[in-house]
A and B are shown apart, each in its own frame.
Chain A
Amino acid sequence: MALLEVKDIQVYYGMIQALKGVSFEVNEGEVIALIGANGAGKTTTLHTVTGLLRSKSGQIMFDGQDITKIPPHKIVTMGMAHVPEGRRVFSNMTVLQNLKMGAFTRTDKDEIEDTIQKVYKRFPRLEERQGQTAGTLSGGEQQMLAMGRALMSKPRIILMDEPSMGLSPIFVNEIFDIIKEVSESGTTVLLVEQNAKKALSIADRAYVLETGKIILDGDADDLLNDESVQKAYLGE
């Protein structure tokens, strides 16, 4: 059984249908990439999975439980973390306060400090800046903070929305290295990216989204070599 199973979700913004029956699944331990052009429905898909948006029909199963109608704050408790597009760090709070916010649902107070140290180990830059207000960090550092904050809830699956957006090439590489590390340490990853090449290079499998529909899916390596994908998304 897949860890996350999305079946035929349909999402509307008023009269406009943004998702026209999207289905996919993510198995435990996988890195899945969801690629597609601007406006294809990638972010909408993630928002629907975490409950920020509601699907008109279909079903979302997480770890065997139907989460289609569960509010977002409860889904977090079940072990799903979402790194939103544009990072959305709490800019008036310090780096450390942001990380503690990430552990909001946890009840094991004594072990939170332990997780903070683990996050600092993965992102040494965050430790250097732990007392700094998050709004004053650079874009790349904010992305690291958003990822670190999501890891604070000790999620089983982490959803990342455009983690490389607006970052310098050096930071882009660093962020993708970290995503790989996160996956290797046992967290399942669902990655939404416009940078299809990078995303496919670290993913196990991928789904291609176009105007609200999945038009292609398969092993990431196969998609990297697929002519239509290369033409449409890899700029080759």
Chain B
Amino acid sequence: MSFLSYLISGISLGSVYAIIALGYTMVYGIAKMLNFAHGDVIMVGGFVTFTCVSGMGLPPVVAVLLAVIVCTALGMVIEGVAYRPLRNAASPLAVLITAIGVSYLLQNLALLIYGANTKSFTSVIKVPALKLAGGALVITGETLVTICSGILIMICLTLFIKKTKTGQAMLAVSEDKGAAQLMGINVNRTISITFAIGSALAAIAGVLLCSAYPSLTPYTGAMPGIKAFVAAVFGGIGSIPGAFIGGIFLGILEIFGKAYISSQMADAIVFAVLIVVLVVKPTGILGKNIQEKV
């Protein structure tokens, strides 16, 4: 029974990674940049929810909604102010370095406002735990909500890209910005929307993460951010189903590593597996490897 319980925790943690990884992978696929500040948007989402619930006593639903709105706006502002002016810079490293700068900026702003002490986050999820097999297997409300959110987000995102004009524009921009412009697609707007969606997902991930692991510091987003990045690369960066599968896999791997091998070694195991996967299949599990005809 403990195996099953570990597996479920793994899927739950993996769902959080998947939601973050979706943002990473979409931004990479469409804007061709690694947004290393993505993890810190998670932290912002966490702090906004924390302030609303613990500070202002707002109902959790309102708090989550506000967190999503704030992060969406934040994502668009970051893109417009910090990344867009560098989009045509001579070196792609310029925007990468800027992203690292934005990451530190967000962490230090949070440090300035909230201090370095760990805040205890009150879970916003009020779903009762599910008791199975006569109480031998307990699935917490947080776990249930997290897994369902992951699946729901994945479905919505896939439909959005397949069925809407903006989704189609995203596909076109991800393949060829110049050609997309010639089709009448507003590339700046499309990239801005991509950041908005990615950041909204980061806010949701922040709320889910903090509800399951109820502590919050200005560095809360950093490690999950890196791991979600690993998940995105693992699944094939730029691929949406890849990010999802990568996230789930990483979550399970981490929990199993902690449970069966060593809780200190879990992260090392996760990264070691990444290295092995990349050696064997450099494009990731679902990465595109299409030979283009000239």
Whether B183 pairs with A88 at a CB distance below 8 angstroms is no
Closest Cβ of chain A to B34, distance in Å, is 21
Knowing A92-B175, A104-B168, say if A73 contacts B292 (CB, 8 Å): no
Whether A135 pairs with B172 at a CB distance below 8 angstroms is no
Taking CB atoms and an 8 Å cut-off, the chain A residues in 132-170 that contact chain B are 133, 135-139, 142, 149-150, 153
Which among B74-82, B98-106, B184-192 touches the partner chain? B184-192
Closest Cβ of chain B to A79, distance in Å, is 11
A72 at interface, CB cutoff 8 A: yes
Whether A50 pairs with B182 at a CB distance below 8 angstroms is yes
Q: Which of A88, A102, A136 contacts B293 (CB 8 A)?
A: A136
Taking CB atoms and an 8 Å cut-off, the chain A residues in 150-209 that contact chain B are 150, 153
Cα separation A81 to B184 with both chains bound (whole Å): 9
Q: Which residues of A have CB within 8 Å of B37?
A: none
Whether B165 pairs with A91 at a CB distance below 8 angstroms is no
Cα separation A73 to B165 with both chains bound (whole Å): 14
Whether B185 pairs with A104 at a CB distance below 8 angstroms is yes
Whether A104 pairs with B183 at a CB distance below 8 angstroms is yes
Whether B186 pairs with A71 at a CB distance below 8 angstroms is yes
Q: Which residues of B have CB within 8 Å of A93?
A: 171, 175
Taking CB atoms and an 8 Å cut-off, the chain B residues in 162-185 that contact chain A are 165, 168-169, 171-172, 175-176, 178-185
Q: Which residues of A have CB within 8 Å of B165?
A: 104
Closest Cβ of chain A to B282, distance in Å, is 18
Whether A84 pairs with B179 at a CB distance below 8 angstroms is yes
Knowing A71-B186, A105-B184, say if A90 contacts B178 (CB, 8 Å): no
Taking CB atoms and an 8 Å cut-off, the chain A residues in 89-132 that contact chain B are 89-93, 100-102, 104-105
Give how many B residues have a beta carbon under 8 Å from the other chain's beta carbons.
22
Interface code B132-173, partner A: CB below 8 Å = 1, 0 otherwise?
Answer: 000000000000000000000000000000000100110110
Whether A90 pairs with B293 at a CB distance below 8 angstroms is no
Taking CB atoms and an 8 Å cut-off, the chain A residues in 67-92 that contact chain B are 71-74, 76-77, 81-82, 84, 88-92
Whether B178 pairs with A52 at a CB distance below 8 angstroms is yes
Cα separation A126 to B175 with both chains bound (whole Å): 21
Whether A135 pairs with B171 at a CB distance below 8 angstroms is no
Q: Which residues of A have CB within 8 Å of B292?
A: 91, 135
Knowing A92-B290, A135-B290, A135-B292, say if A102 contacts B178 (CB, 8 Å): no
Cα separation A50 to B168 with both chains bound (whole Å): 22
Q: Which residues of A have CB within 8 Å of B182?
A: 50, 52, 72, 76, 81-82, 84, 88, 150
Cα separation A82 to B172 with both chains bound (whole Å): 16
Whether B184 pairs with A90 at a CB distance below 8 angstroms is no
Whether B186 pairs with A88 at a CB distance below 8 angstroms is no
Cα separation A133 to B292 with both chains bound (whole Å): 11
Knowing A84-B179, A101-B168, A138-B293, say if A92 contacts B288 (CB, 8 Å): yes
